Amino acid sequence: MGGQNLAGPGGGLPPIPTWLTERAGVDYPVIGAPMFKITYEELAAAVSEAGGLGCLATTNYPTQESLDEALERVRRLTRRPVGANLHLSEKFPWRESLRACLRQEVKIIITSLGNPARVVEEVHAKGGTVLACVINLRQARTAAQAGVDGLIAVGSGAGGHGGHISTMVLVPYLARETGLPVIAAGGVATGSQLAAALALGACGAVVGTRLIASTEAVASPAYKRAVLEASPEDIVCTDRVTGNPANWIASSIQGVERPLAADSPAWKDLWSAGQSVAQTREIKGAKNIVEEIVEEYYRVVARLPGLDRAREGAGQPASTGEARG
Ligand SMILES: Cc1cc2nc3c(=O)[nH]c(=O)nc-3n(C[C@H](O)[C@H](O)[C@H](O)COP(=O)(O)O)c2cc1C
């Protein structure tokens, strides 16, 4: 979904330019996570209005009509770019969803759980960008061979499906091995964590868990409260619920023994969240959350130890990134 890159979101702070912001046409390298049963039009639009990239989860719209309506509605809520996520398993009608997204000019397509080779040609033909969620090098290589434009490195401790390699290690590893732009997912809820992700070489970060505790998230009050109250020790990784390893608030999945159907009513009481519950302590509007992340990013980067020396050594502002080398 295209849109103008108007000046002035993020509390008026300057843009943070990266490969992702250039590609997506946004100001800040923050993707509002597409989340099953959580991210709908209001949340995606609010993230985009803050200067990040809101992203719809197409799995939340089981019929063609409901997805078409959602895409139209999000366009009424924001003129800024909004992306969409396709779950490439046969549990969902992703082919029809892809066509609907492309008809509505969604330019950033995030793929998960399946080989992105199925969508790359169609998205590129429309001038779009494909970002593939991957949890290890094998998946990253498959995605690279498929011709994706960038990778989302989903680290251990991420909300939703995740692997077992920490974001800290996975981001630079996949960047080095594939040469593709990499976006960090898993454990980014604050500006300091965004700064850490960019320092690792990521060109952006996906924020999921922090946004469950947003006013726009379609999570029950009990789920939001559980996210606020949980500590990282309460998060367990298991494939029991969906058939793939995913992170959950332990108390919510007690008694679940086998994977649930996508349309099971039980989902509403099964609460996925990542370890960044540790940094999720208050419910706020999503725009506010993104603005806070950007503000903290600037504060943290400005006070990094040794910054003055790095500037002197390089003979230019450290913020260009060249002082690091
Ligand atoms: C409740 C929940 C549902 C999710 N559903 C999806 C989904 O449908 N598709 C997807 O690509 N990622 C999904 N994710 C993963 C997020 O897109 C993102 O990668 C992750 O939340 C980032 O890590 P964090 O939670 O530590 O911020 C989900 C995450 C959560 C917490």
CATH code of the domain in which 146 resides? 3.20.20.70
What is the atom index within ligand 1 of the atom nearest the CA of 247? Answer: 31
Give the residue numbers spanning the domain of 254: 223-269
Distance 241 CA to ligand 1 centre (A): 15
184: Cβ below 6 Å to ligand 1?
no
110 burial (CB, 10 Å; 0-12 / 13-18 / 19+) is buried
Probe residue for ligand 1, chosen from 59, 161, 276 as the CB with the greatest number of ligand atoms within 8 Å: 161
Residue 25 has pLDDT above 90, yes or no: yes
Nearest to 280 by CA among 316, 232, 227: 227
What mean pLDDT comes out for the span 99-115? 95
Element (H, E) at 111: strand 108-112
Q: What is the rounded distance in angstroms from the CA atom of residue 188 to the CA atom of residue 194? A: 6
* pLDDT on residue 322: 37
306 assigned to some structural domain: no
pLDDT of residue 1: 61
The full DSSP string for 75-104 is HHH-SS-EEEEEE-STTS-HHHHHHHHHHT
250, 210: one domain: no
Q: How far apart are CA 38 and CA 57, in angstroms?
A: 9
Classify residue 280: in a domain, yes or no: no
Q: Are residues 195 and 82 in the same domain?
A: yes
Residue-wise pLDDT tens digits, 180-215: 999 999 999 999 999 999 999 999 999 999 999 999
Give the model's confidence band at 89: pLDDT under 50 very low, under 70 low, under 90 confident, else very high: confident
Do 143 and 116 form a contact (C-beta atoms < 8 A)? yes
In this prediction, residue 5 has a pLDDT band, given cuts at 50, 70 and 90, of very low
> pLDDT tens, 221-249?
999 999 999 999 999 999 999 888 999 99
Residue 310 vs residue 10, higher pLDDT: 310
Residue 277 lies in a domain: no
User: 64 and 17 share a domain?
Assistant: yes
**114 with 151, same domain?**
yes
Do 262 and 294 belong together in one domain? no
Return the number of other C-beta atoms located less than 10 Å from residue 316's C-beta. Answer: 12
Whether 173 maps to a domain, the answer reads yes
- Confirm whether 319 is domain-assigned: no
Return mean pLDDT, the chain.
92
- On whether the CB atoms of residues 233 and 273 are closer than 8 A, the answer is no
Please tell me the predicted confidence (pLDDT) of residue 3.
45
Do 168 and 229 fall within a single domain? no
Residue with the larger pLDDT of the pair 228 and 311: 228
pLDDT attached to residue 258: 82
Ligand 1 pocket check for 85: Cβ under 6 Å = yes
Residues 99 and 245 occupy one common structural domain: no
List pLDDT tens digits, range 41-60: 999 999 999 999 999 999 99
Looking at the structure, tell me whether residues 203 and 104 fall in a common domain: yes
The predicted structure's pLDDT at residue 4? 40
Tell whether the model's pLDDT for residue 264 goes beyond 50: yes
Amino acid at 97: S
Q: Which atom of ligand 1 is nearest to the CA of 187?
A: 26
The count of domains in the chain is 2
pLDDT at 36 over 80: yes
Percentage of the chain beyond pLDDT 70 is 93
* pLDDT of res. 11: 63
Q: What CA–CA distance (Å, rounded) separates 59 from 66?
A: 11
Start-to-end CA span in the chain (Å)? 37
258 CA to centre of ligand 1 in angstroms: 21
230 is a domain residue: yes
Residue 171 has pLDDT above 50, yes or no: yes
User: Could you tell me the distance, in angstroms and rounded to a whole number, from the CA of residue 282 to the centre of ligand 1?
Assistant: 19
Residue 13 phi, psi (nearest 5): -75, 150
Asked whether residue 25 is domain-assigned, the answer is yes
pLDDT band at 325 (very low <50, low <70, confident <90, very high): very low
Assess if residue 132 is contained within a domain: yes
pLDDT of 8 above 90: no
List the single range of 2-6, 27-31, 160-164 with lowest mean pLDDT: 2-6
